[in-house]
Structure 1
Amino acid sequence: MKRFEDLSPSLRCIMTPGPVEVDPRVLRAMSFPVLGQFDPEFTNIMNETMGMLRELFATGNQWAYPVDGTSRSGIEATMVSLIAPGDRVLIPIYGRFGHLLHEIAERCGAEVYTIEKPWGSVFAPEEIIAEMRKVKPQVVAMVHGETSTGRLQPLEGIGEACREMDALLIVDAVATIGGVPVETDAWKLDAVIGGTQKCLSVPSGMSPITYNERAEAKVLSRKQVERGLRTDDSKLGGMSPVRSNYFDLGMLQDYWSPLRLNHHTEMTSMLYALREGLRLVLEEGLEARFARHLLHEQALVAGLEAMEMKLYGNPDCKMPMVTCVTIPEGVDGEAVRSMLLDDFGIEIASSFGPLKGQIWRIGTMGFSCRKNNVLRVLGGLEAALLRQGCKLPAGLALQAALDVYEQV
């Protein structure tokens, strides 16, 4: 019989756009004893988590809770529940994850309309609003922070336009929540999906979501159809029940309500992790956390520019948490990534689609967003590039980053 050794994963410096390093206090929380999902002590933890999520999402929404599963589970639960077959859905696409929203909307049976921007740029909100007037969608779904290109989409004004046109606005904030402001109520966002494995520094496995009364009204209408309480489709605009059991927000909110109607067995240890991760975010303070992400981005960019690396994309819409670097001509990008991992224990990312093999993506997110990590990745990248025969001004990158830190 084959014998297996004890599990002992390598300790990495993870500087990707997700996952990132997990705060040790979150890992400790995951080791706590398991409670039954209806134990009052555990349901109190559920309630505390909902309260902290409201602060994180900057909302007074009743519904703010995690969907069990990776970030895509939250996206799919929200879209499956809020997009009925035949709905007109507008999706602005400026990177890989806009295409994902398109695919999910099609699977929901929607009539999907898209507008696209070249990768590396974003839309002016006025462009999206103008397209809304043409399409007259029931739903607009879009990405806030596109990690495939490192760009941040402005959202101000789009929610107000959706209210005027009676459309729901769904926002994928998986990569941005906890790293930059996500003003759910102020921007009039109807449903927002977050992720744990990025700026929250919690392992992948839960997807925090929030949605308002406008979104809940559609959820409840579809729930009434499901239960046979309303059968006149003309009054529902052709409404149909949610086609998923697991991803039905109507059932999930019953589970998270005081009724505690059984829907699934809650991921106890992951909820401990999420609660601790949220506690740490709020303990640091959202404004301080946003400022920290900006500081380490500035140091990283200063170092890369001193190394004479070319940054990819429009700088006016850059995400603070993801820096995209054009791979120098003649350099084997994968060989550099391999050397960083094998010799320095540092992981950075490549990219997708048309950018595959063209750029590296360096994440400065959550617990990974630290001075020692930024200095380590700059030093390692310089060494790996020199070994590849790339000509660059050696020794300046770390000094440029240190200059940024000394100004604080």
Structure 2
Amino acid sequence: MTGIWTESTIAIRFLREGRSQSALILIGIGVGVAVIVFINALITGLQDNIIDRTLGTQSHIRLSAPDEVNQILPLSDDSVQLVLESKRAQRLRSINNWLQLRDVLDTLPEVTAVSPIISGPAFARRGEALESVALVGIDSERYQRILPISEDIIEGVFQVGAGKTVIGKQLAIELGVSAGDKLRLQTGQGGDSVLSIAGIFELGVRELDARYVYLDMSQAQSLLNLPGAATVIDMTVTDIFRADITATRISRLTGQKVESWMETNAQLLNALQSQSLSTNMISMFVALSVALGIASVLSVSVVQRTREIGILRAIGITRTQMLLVFLIQGALFGLFGSLLGGISGYLLVWIFNTFGPRLFFIPLDLSLLVAASMLATLTGVISASIPAHRAAHLDPVEAIRHV
């Protein structure tokens, strides 16, 4: 008897004879895989929600001019220099050759959007009310690729330029204004302008909703007395978890100060990494329990079928074929158990999305089911290797004598 068909037939027959054991181990594997699928999908959905809420209001990488430093004049060789140095105050200034830098950054394959900005402090005044704000002068078309602010407009329309501005909801409340009202902006550089409020946005971050005032770049340049300037270049990247590597590359390429969200949001990054680590640990322990379950069931099967194994060896089944019989059983346990668990896990995800508290949405990714099935099948084969080796090396004569 030759061919994989023979080993598969014997393996399936053994499984059918021990239906109760087979059913229990399949249920156990199914529960384990369901836990892996649901927990991974849950953590992925939670991380996507956190990233969207946090990074959805900021760029992934920010480029600005290098910090200004004090210049210390050299002395003669025989002089002793004692210096008490205070860090130099940083003035608001433009990035040198920012137009050329913007065009270079546009060509980088890992960068998905580039938006030059001119930003600086100002005061917003209406009547007796006075609030400190951050002017954000933008190229509207480019900035929308970084932060689609037009989707967050709750009153009026998104329109900057030609004497129009857009402000946050909290700032509108504090100043007592609404869309269509006038707003005076004053800066420390002597800029003073009265603009019409075209729209009011709500980003969901109180600090941003209370401070951001969006203008056209030319309006902000005039108010900040920096004609033709850009103080920041914002960027988004394809892989946010490699933003620090991309930022380092851009810094070396341009010679400018470049920071990624991973530097400015270190606590968020630590939380995301902790979540991923805990998920991996859960998956590892569940996979280990599944492997032990498969190994124990097949070990019992070898003991129970010692006489049958001896007869099969006596009529011509080779050690390699007997080894394959039990490896196939392990693979079948892993494959069908993972399919049962995958379906159960996706059912749990559907229940959460449909009847859950609606805190966030869990995405359904079929690649997760494929990965879980491959992992469970491989686990089944590996866990079956020890009992399979034992079965293959049973002495036929001693096995037949076994009662």
Q: TM-score, normalised by structure 2?
A: 0.21
Work out which structure has the larger RCO, using CA pairs closer than 8 Å and 6 or more positions apart in sequence: 2
User: What's the TM-score, normalizing by structure 1?
Assistant: 0.21
Pick the structure with more helix per residue. 2
